[in-house]
A and B are shown apart, each in its own frame.
Chain A
Amino acid sequence: MKIKFLVLILCFFLILPMGFSQGQKDAEESITLKWLVWITPNLTLDYWQEIADAFESENPGVEVELVQASATSTANTSDFIRNRLASGDVPDLWMNFQDVAAFADAGHLWPIPADDPDLQQVNNLMDQAYKGELYSFASFAQPQGLMFYNKELWAQSGLTEDDIPYSWDEFNAVCETIQDAGMTPIAIGGEWVPLILWDYFIGAELSKEYPDWWALVNSGEKQWNDPQVLEIVEWIDSLVKNGYFIEGALSIGYAQLEQAFLAEKAVMYPMGSWFTAAEAAADKDWECGVFSIPTKDGRTNMTKSGGYGNGFVIHAESEHPELAFELMKMVSLDPEYGARFIEADGLFSNLLPPLTYPMSSLQGELLELMGKVEFARPVMNHPLGEAPPMGITDFFQSNGEALLSQSYTSLEDLLKKIDNFVADVKK
């Protein structure tokens, strides 16, 4: 009797999943498109769901399943996708993706049709081609290496618009003035944020002189442990030593950091253009301004991402790549949804004619600034075919943390660590 009962239980547990799988087969008659979306304070789940719903209503019989990722739990899209590749459950459309060269070489990306009529509105479309194929396209520009500042606190510390710094010396003087006025000059935080010390502060100086920095490093012509790089790191280190960064920075998460700046805990905030969207939505009574991260000689140089397209790519083994391509176009080119995407994340259109949205005064100021500066690639950005080794961001981040916490044996060691990693990976 007992045996019969146990056999019955076993059969039940064996049949149950089969029943589910039959149910799934029925459901599979409608097409399911899996879309990896990156959840941020600007790009919320509700936001993505709205676009998914709109796509579903335009394409009856298609169901868009959102696969969520966020910087809190996942270092980057490549990391997320690699795990999915191992599990065999890979989304059809990915976003925020940067490692085009490595994944294209491994055969994981679907080449999008470059002759698609809708793509012809993208400015310099084929700039994003890799080995003759197009996997993504730059529908927007994302200025980075920006220093936002609180105009009210700026004035309270005795500074005027004429004091906007361009050179390191001018920036040091501004920080000193703010500190003397009893305020914290710069807001910076933990999680991924220490990266920006390398990507923005070093990038502003380094990429100005060596736009193809990674090509030089990869060929062995240049090393990170270089007197010129060391000089930049020494400058950043002096900012830390002088106490210009917010106290307890490394235990302040990104979302908290943004709120801290909006709550006037610091006068300046180095960040990318996506902050303008948060600023526009914030309930505050002060005006925000923006300038480029200063360089040694004062020549303005703003880093701008876009070297890897708009970050949307399609999985080569997707069963419905054409449909994923339609969704990709909808979110980046459609006059309504494309404009909403760039508005939600504080981006600027790279289409001809450009998509527009009602800009805040800060966004207007940034647009004006973009017209005055020279652009360079961020150090972390991956020009196609000249990519740094995957995982380099770990070293930038931990070196950024080492600088902020002053826990290093020597600055040369921090730079050697990057060189050692590059050499180790090459082996």
Chain B
Amino acid sequence: MKLKSRTSTNIQNLILFTPGFAIYVGLIIFSIILCFYYSFFDWDGISKTMDFIGFTNYIRAFGNQEFRSSLVTTFYFAVIGTVSVNIIAIILAVFLNQKNPLTNFYRAAFFFPQLISLVAIGFIFKGLLSYIGIVNTLLENWGMAKVDFLGKPENAPITILLISIWQTTGFATVLYLAGLQAIPNDLYDAAKTDGANAWVKFRYVTYPWLAPSFTAVTVFLFTGYMKIFDIIFVLTAGGPAEKTQSIAIYIMKIGFNQFRISYASAVAIYMTVLVMTIALILTGVLRKREELLIS
């Protein structure tokens, strides 16, 4: 009877597991293998023949100034975006964890941007922030100077960063909120008995207990920002003068505009390895931090 039950559980698991695994292998693993294969050839994506050139595409990428500047831009978004979203999301989560009649409304409002596609968000903000768009028209009507949000090289990266922070914060807030709600009330009661003020409670109870959420959010955000594409593509397409060109935009440009599929594949493989390595290091470091904080 027990054996039959175990067999049926295994079959159930297999049925549930297989579709997801097949999609994962077919769409992700297979693509990465194909990309790795193409990276050793010279191929434009339309010719019927490919020339084997070994590691030339990798060597070419490291020597390319545009590749290096795209990498710097990507890290700019990843580091500032991850830090900013974490700070804002923790503050919002603590605020939303209070008992208040409007709490549910605020939760929905903060999470709402996460439900809109990045492409739609891009088009909405493009209309709002254009030099002759709604925001600048209002500024002009109020007698204020117009701002070139997306057209000036010094403004465009900040504008994109702010929009992406606005879009991502809701999701991070929900994760932190879940973490906050898992903290036993006894700990707060004990801290209260010891005479702890709000800051001390946050520093010695809330903050350490949020460590698992912090790990999840940080790894999720950092790896997400390293792949940032949609919002940049719609808002600036990497411009002006390549100042918002992330690695993903660069890959798209060399692969699909310049028809250098093999070179783009090499850059994509490089990025995959880089992002995987960073994600593993981040996870390892943050897991250790969790253990230290909670112990």
Contacts and interface: CB of A to CB of B under 8 A. Distances in A.
Contacts of A389: 258
Interface stretch (B130-138, B192-200, B270-278): B130-138
Interface stretch (B101-109, B164-172, B216-224, B239-247): B239-247
Interface in B103-145: 126, 129-133, 136
A397 B136 CA distance: 25
Contacts of B149: 251
A106 B130 CA distance: 41
Interface string B34-57: 000000000011111000000000
Interface in A373-404: 389-391, 393-394, 397-398, 401-402, 404
Given A190-B240, A407-B240, A390 B151 contact: no
A253 interface: yes
Nearest to A2: B12
A21 interface: no
Contacts of B241: 398, 401-402, 405, 407-408
Interface stretch (A77-85, A175-183, A336-344): A77-85
B289 interface: no
A107 B46 CA distance: 9
B45 A82 contact: yes
B212 interface: no
Contacts of A76: 257
A250 B240 contact: yes
B151 A3 contact: no
A3 B258 contact: no
B136 A390 contact: no
A78 B259 contact: yes
Interface residues of B, number: 40
A408 to B, nearest CB: 7
B239 A424 contact: no
B150 interface: yes
A303 to B, nearest CB: 22
B132 A405 contact: no
A33 interface: no
A70 B16 CA distance: 41
B152 interface: yes
Nearest to B238: A398
A256 interface: yes
B153 A405 contact: yes
A314 to B, nearest CB: 16
Interface in A173-198: 190-191
Contacts of B8: 2-3
Contacts of B132: 248, 252, 256, 260, 265
Contacts of B133: 251, 256
Nearest to B56: A427
Given A7-B15, A190-B239, A251 B258 contact: no
A313 B207 CA distance: 63
B47 A247 contact: no
Contacts of A427: 60
A10 B257 CA distance: 41
Contacts of B253: 391, 394
A280 interface: no
B279 interface: no
A260 B12 CA distance: 62
A390 B259 contact: yes
A86 interface: yes
B128 to A, nearest CB: 11
A401 B239 contact: yes
**Which 9 A-B residue pairs are closest in the complex by CB-CB distance?**
A248-B131, A391-B258, A250-B151, A251-B151, A251-B150, A402-B241, A401-B240, A248-B148, A407-B153
12 contacts: A2-B8, A79-B257, A82-B256, A83-B256, A102-B259, A106-B48, A190-B239, A247-B146, A248-B131, A390-B44, A391-B253, A394-B258
Interface of B: 8, 11-12, 15-16, 44-48, 60, 126, 129-133, 136, 146, 148-153, 236-243, 253-254, 256-260
Given A249-B131, A391-B260, A398-B242, 12 more contacts: A82-B46, A85-B45, A85-B46, A106-B48, A248-B136, A253-B130, A256-B132, A394-B253, A394-B258, A401-B242, A407-B243, A425-B260
